[in-house]
Structures are given as structure tokens and as C-alpha cells.
Amino acid sequence: MLGMALLITSLLTEPGFHDRYIVEGWKNGKKFDLMVTRVPLRDRSNRPVLLRTDAAEGFMNMMTEAAKVGFFLDINYAYRSHKAQRALWRSYQNRGITNRAARPGWSTHQSGLSVDISGCYRDINNKRYKTTTFWWLKANGPKFGFYNDVPSEPWHWTFFPNKIKK
Ligand SMILES: [Zn+2]
């Protein structure tokens, strides 16, 4: 447990992380300047993980807290550019799946507020089971402002700055 916490601490102080950038954000179909912070992880495409600065801070605090009890919160995807959202949306549309990705310009990933966390579920014999990581997040996420706001997607956690439960 202690080893994991130390690992997280060293990741959090690695140079290059915590850098802030202005990127193109989208909310409700409108473009805006979005300030993001780089989280000390890489996403599933081996790209830097970016979240809106307050969401990034909340996530990093949550990650440290989770590590203390042995959960390593790895991110599959976080902030998504308009181009990436369009590509994702199209790939689902082409496969006839209409409810998995939000329309380009309307995803909370484009406003830097959502993270897809790995290891939140397992599929066994075509049945989906939520993991202890999910249940830890469900119980502790609200302390950091994170909620699973799409129940059919146990990996999808969104930051609500006004709903941080102390
Ligand atoms: Zn998501």
C-alpha cells in the first residue's frame, strides 16, 4: 500500500506534468477556450491526459486517495478534441451504434470534464459486472466531485464542481 502511494507521489511530481494548456473546448455545440492541466498518466492511445484544470486537480487528489487503499486509477480517455470526437462518433455511426458517443460538440469529454477510467467492469459470459474499483469510485468519487453520470457506462466519470461532497 505504502509503495503504491509513493509511486503516485513520484508520478505527481514528474516534470512536464501539471503543465497547463489552452485547448479548443466544446459545450452544447459551442466552441470556447478551455484551460486544461496535464494529468500524470497516458491514455489508451499513449497520448497525454488532459482535463479542465479544476477537474484535473480533483482527479489527481482522488487518484492519490485511491492509491492509499490499493486502487490505481488509470485513464483510458479524458479530454477529446473536436476532431477526435468526430472520428469516434463516425466510427460508431458506421457500425450502426447510435447511443455510445455524443454528437461532436456535445460530449463532456470535449469540455474536459469526463474521464473514462479503466478496470471499472468485467464482462463474463456476456454479463457485465462492476468491479471493486467502480464501487470505490461510487462511494468516494463525490468527495472529489466525480460521478458516474451515464449508468450504462461504468467507466465514464464526470466532474461536477458544484457537487463536491466534503
Ligand atoms: Zn466517457
CATH code of the domain containing 29: 3.30.1380.10
Measured in Å, residue 163 CA sits from the centre of ligand 1 at 19
Q: What does the alpha-carbon distance between residue 85 and residue 122 come to, in Å, rounded to a whole number?
A: 25
Q: How many CB atoms lie within 10 A of CB 64?
A: 17
pLDDT in tens, 47-64: 889 999 999 999 999 999
CA 84 to chain centre: 15
Nine cell digits for residue 141:
468519487
What pLDDT is attached to residue 11?
56
For 67, the domain range is 2-163
> Looking at the whole model, is its pTM more than 0.85?
yes
Residue 33 near residue 22 (C-beta atoms within 8 A):
yes
What pLDDT is attached to residue 19?
85
What pLDDT is attached to residue 1?
44
Residue 44 near residue 11 (C-beta atoms within 8 A):
no
Residue 57 near residue 37 (C-beta atoms within 8 A):
yes
Measured in Å, residue 115 CA sits from the centre of ligand 1 at 6
Measured in Å, residue 19 CA sits from the centre of ligand 1 at 23
User: Which of the pair, 67 or 14, is modelled with greater confidence?
Assistant: 67
Measured in Å, residue 164 CA sits from the centre of ligand 1 at 20
Measured in Å, residue 149 CA sits from the centre of ligand 1 at 10
Measured in Å, residue 141 CA sits from the centre of ligand 1 at 15
Measured in Å, residue 3 CA sits from the centre of ligand 1 at 30
User: Which of the pair, 160 or 18, is modelled with greater confidence?
Assistant: 160
Measured in Å, residue 101 CA sits from the centre of ligand 1 at 8
Q: How open is the CA angle 10-140-142, to the nearest 5 degrees?
A: 110
Confidence of residue 153 (pLDDT cuts 50, 70, 90): very high
Ranking 6-20, 75-89, 117-131 by mean pLDDT, the lowest is 6-20
Secondary-structure breakdown of the chain: helix, strand, coil percentages, each rounded to the nearest 5? 35, 30, 40
Question: In the predicted model, what is the mean pLDDT of the chain?
Answer: 90
Residue 77 near residue 41 (C-beta atoms within 8 A):
no
Task: Give the number of domains in the chain.
Answer: 1
User: Which of the pair, 95 or 8, is modelled with greater confidence?
Assistant: 95
Please compute the mean of the pLDDT values over residues 75-102 and round it to a whole number. 92
Its sign, for the CA torsion 144, 149, 150, 154, is positive
pLDDT in tens, 11-48: 555 556 778 889 999 999 999 999 999 998 888 988 88
Please compute the mean of the pLDDT values over residues 94-115 and round it to a whole number. 93
Measured in Å, residue 2 CA sits from the centre of ligand 1 at 30
Q: Which residue has the cell 462518433?
A: 89
Measured in Å, residue 113 CA sits from the centre of ligand 1 at 10
